[in-house]
């Protein structure tokens, strides 16, 4: 195999037998640990790529790079165009990845990474090191960065690494994490909610007003006057005559 160099996001990589494919090379870059390797067969099936050609510039060039069918050094593109093609290849792979990880094969690969805590663990104390899943807040590129979803507390968090914080959330999408958890529940791998809840205290005493307000907000119910509550004096005649 002839040696060639590629520059994506500031990485200068000289490829030889060590890098068997662009996909493997891309997934092994620092900061791309959240990606799994998409099967070549999935990418070569045109049905799986429906609609992507209108979402990515230099689509044909980008697809050829992903499939190792074209090397930028062999093209007639100008330097600026080559950089755009490299960026398009990354975006295209991310969008293909978002579709692949909702297939049975993709879910299996991502479940393995999830079980091995490759996406990190929840920072919440009472979640006890619950593994996280990458999730997008939008399926449209360049709208939001990837976040990490905790199946226990049902909340999302920023990744700890700055490299991961720059990844586009659309490369995982809004569906994948919840589809995987649904499949795990069907396989009797249910994840229980936290059994403990932090209670604020002052000198050992619970802050009841704050606790009740928090519960009311959570339940979206206004506080009603109970029978045992004392009515305002103005209604009982104790506040003077009209």
Q: Number of folded domains in the chain?
A: 2
238 lies in a domain? no
Angle between helices 176-186 and 104-115 (to 10 degrees): 80
Give the helix/strand (H/E) hosting 209: helix 208-219
> What is the CA angle 31-87-176, rounded to 5?
55
Q: In this structure, are 84 and 131 located in the same domain?
A: no
Q: Nearest 10 degrees: CA dihedral of 110, 28, 124, 134? A: -40
Model confidence, pTM = 0.76
Provide the domain limits for residue 127. Answer: 118-222
Instruction: Find, among 43, 174, 39, the residue nearest to 108 by Cα.
Output: 39
Q: In this structure, are 85 and 122 located in the same domain?
A: no
Q: What is the pLDDT of residues 153-178, one digit of tens each?
A: 999 999 999 999 999 999 999 999 99
154 lies in a domain? yes
235 lies in a domain? no
Q: What is the pLDDT of residues 1-48, one digit of tens each?
A: 333 333 444 444 444 445 579 999 999 999 999 999 999 999 999 999
């Amino acid at each position: 195999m002839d040696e060639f160099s590629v520059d994506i996001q500031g990485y200068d990589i000289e490829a030889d037998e060590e890098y068997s494919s662009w996909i493997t090379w891309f997934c092994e870059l620092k900061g791309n640990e959240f990606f799994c390797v998409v099967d070549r067969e999935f990418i070569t099936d045109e049905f799986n790529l429906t609609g992507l050609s209108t979402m990515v510039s230099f689509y044909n060039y980008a697809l050829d790079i992903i499939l190792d069918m074209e090397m930028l050094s062999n093209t007639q593109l100008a330097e600026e165009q080559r950089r755009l093609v490299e960026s398009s290849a990354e975006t295209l792979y991310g969008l293909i990845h978002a579709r692949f990880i909702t297939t049975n094969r993709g879910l299996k690969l991502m479940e393995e990474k999830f079980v091995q805590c490759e996406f990190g663990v929840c920072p919440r104390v009472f979640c006890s090191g619950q593994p996280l899943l990458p999730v997008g807040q939008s399926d449209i590129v360049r709208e939001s960065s990837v976040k990490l979803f905790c199946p226990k507390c049902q909340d999302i968090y920023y990744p700890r690494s700055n490299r991961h914080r720059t990844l586009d959330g659309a490369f995982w999408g809004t569906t994948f994490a919840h589809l995987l958890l649904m499949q795990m529940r069907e396989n009797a791998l249910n994840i229980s909610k936290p059994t403990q809840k932090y209670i604020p205290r002052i000198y050992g005493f619970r802050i009841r007003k704050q606790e009740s307000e928090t519960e009311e907000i959570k339940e979206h119910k206004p506080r009603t006057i109970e029978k045992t509550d004392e009515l305002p004096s103005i209604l009982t005649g104790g506040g003077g005559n009209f």
